[in-house]
Amino acid sequence: MKAFRRGLVVAFIALLAGAIVRLRGKGTVQPTSGGWRELEGPDFR
């Protein structure tokens, strides 16, 4: 019974942590690939 209760506590904590991570990760993170290049040339593009 004690092990069962411990299991429940662990599962609850895991769910809570998952929810926090999920909430924090809700921003619009777009898939990106590429890099930054310094502006140059006469038009500075």
Partner 1 sequence: MNVRPETQGPTVLLAGVGAVGARAARQLVDTDGIGRVVLAERRPDQRRTALDSLGERAVALDDPYGDWPDDIAIVVSALPASGDGRLARVAIERGVPFVSGTEDADTIDELLALQPIARASGVSVVIGCGLAPGLSDVLARHAASALEDVDEVHIARVGTSGPASVATMKRALRERPREWRDGSWHEGRRRPTRELVWFPEPVGGRDCDAVASGIALLQRQFPDAQRLTIRYGEGEDSPGWRRAGDAAAWGAARVEVWGRRGRARDSIVYGVVERTAVATGTMLAVVAGSMLGALDLGRPAGPGVFAASEFLEPVPLLTELSRRGVKAATFEGVGGESPATSPRG
Residue in 3, 5, 21, 28 binding partner 1, rule: CB under 8 A = 28
Of 2 and 25, the one with the shorter C-beta distance to partner 1 is 25
Using CA atoms, how far residue 14 sits from 17, 22, 32, 44, in Å, is 5, 12, 30, 51
Is 30 a binder of partner 1 (CB under 8 A)?
yes
22 binds partner 1 (CB under 8 A): no
Residue 45, C-beta contacts closer than 8 angstroms, at least 6 positions apart? 39
CB of 31 to partner 1, least distance (A): 6
